[in-house]
Amino acid sequence: MMFHFQLITQEQAEEIAYQWHYDGIYEFYNMEADEEDLAEFLDSDQRNESIYAVTEENQLIGFFSINKAENDTIDIGLGLRPDLTGQGAGYTFLTTGMNYIKEHFSPSFISLAVATFNKRAIKVYRKAGFKETTTFIQSTNGGEFEFVNMIYTCSPAAKKSVDFV
């Protein structure tokens, strides 16, 4: 697989927002499920060059939100096209994105937050080397949901300087 990363276009953002629909409990991740998130995702000024489309053979397969945070950390969000989920593609998609981030941004850490009910994603994140840090409740999609923060240590020196449990 050869993935390509580029800043997301408006057309790609609209395709994700309006055409990507997940089934079952994963409907939670449909862009239209939260008006505020949808508006931010579709507004090129608010995206502010932080969302990257991931393509393979000119087909949109996913996206990564890449934001600089404190302590030399890149905070990510990501989405894989619904028809590709649950087939074992998530690990390669995630690790390819992590490699892109390490190569282009050189962070000490990569962090993310995931809904605790999403056991499938948590399993993939753990396999890639992410560790759980804290849980929190967030208001989104018309309700309150529990999330877990996870962090990946990019360099051995960073691992020694910060202790994450």
pLDDT tens digits, one per residue of 93-146: 999 999 999 999 999 999 999 999 999 999 999 999 999 999 999 988 888 999
Helix H or strand E segment including 67? strand 59-69
- Quote the Cα angle for 96-10-59, to 5°: 45
For the segment 24-28, the average pLDDT, to the nearest whole number, is: 91
Contact 122, 128 (CB under 8 A): no
Sorted by where each starts, the structural domains of the chain and their CATH numbers stand as 4-161 (3.40.630.30)
For the segment 147-155, the average pLDDT, to the nearest whole number, is: 94
- Give pLDDT, residue 39: 93
Q: Give the pLDDT band of residue 165 (cuts 50, 70, 90).
A: very low
| pTM for this entry | 0.89
Q: Mean pLDDT, the chain, as a whole number?
A: 91
